[in-house]
Amino acid sequence: MRVVAGSKKGHPLQAVPGKGTRPTVDKVKESIFNMIGPYFDGGLVLDLYAGTGGLGIEALSRGAEKCIFVDANRKAIGIVQQNLSSTELNEKAEVYRNDANRALNALKKRELMFDIVFLDPPYAEQKIESQIAIMLDHGLLAPNAMIVAEHDVKDELCNHIGSVDKIREVTYGQTAITVYRNEG
């Protein structure tokens, strides 16, 4: 696993030990950023199920201003912090160990609006549609915000969630990537 492009291109990233975390492979990561970017001029990013932090770190490497990383797993949080240190991106990041829904409630209080959101939950615990609805209700999505959801191909996600519309869906084996845009 590595950073695919941008200022930290080629930098290796550590994986979370064990089988509890499924990192996004480089080929899929490159495809995601070709769909939503590929480069950014600032912007606030939320990596809600951070795992290794690979997606948020990739966004920072490609020009995002700041990323908030959230994961409930203690080991994952340690790896995110390690990867941020090794890529020297600590100053552009906030890292929290928290449940996804609790984190969304905490972020609401800060009145933040995200330009890019990555949702890559454990496939068995997928609540992507309800979490997008929560983000809308909490005012966490900037106009034209992009939401990238990684999920099992068996999970069919809605075309519309409030002001959020599905704009693209691609599959890679058992993994599906669904990209939404906030039209509101």
Domain that includes residue 131, residue range: 47-182
Q: At 155, which amino acid appears?
A: D
Domain contains 15:
no
Q: For position 153, which CATH number holds?
A: 3.40.50.150
Residue 179 pairs in a beta bridge with 148, 168
Q: At 128, which amino acid appears?
A: I
Model pLDDT for residues 114-165, shown as the tens digit of each residue: 999 999 998 777 899 999 999 999 999 999 999 999 999 999 999 999 999 9
Q: In what order do the strands lie in the sheet with 114-119?
A: 93-97, 66-71, 44-47, 114-119, 141-152, 175-182, 164-172, 160-161
Mean pLDDT on 31-50: 94
Mean pLDDT on 59-70: 98
Domain contains 11:
no
Q: How far apart are CA 181 and CA 142, in angstroms?
A: 10
Q: How far apart are CA 63 and CA 41, in angstroms?
A: 6
Planar angle of CA 31, 24, 170, nearest 5 degrees: 40
Domain contains 149:
yes
Q: 18 pLDDT band (50/70/90 cuts)?
A: confident
Domain contains 18:
no
| Residue in the block written with tokens 């994952």 | 76
Planar angle of CA 156, 159, 162, nearest 5 degrees: 125
Domain contains 73:
yes
The rounded mean pLDDT for the chain is 93
Q: Tokens representing 160? A: 């519309």
Q: Tokens representing 81? A: 């912090």
Planar angle of CA 87, 90, 95, nearest 5 degrees: 115
How many domains, the chain?
A: 1
If you compute the radius of gyration of the chain from its CA atoms, what whole number of angstroms results? 15
Residue 131, phi then psi, degrees to nearest 5: -75, -35
Domain contains 116:
yes
Domain contains 4:
no
Q: 20 pLDDT band (50/70/90 cuts)?
A: low
Domain contains 5:
no
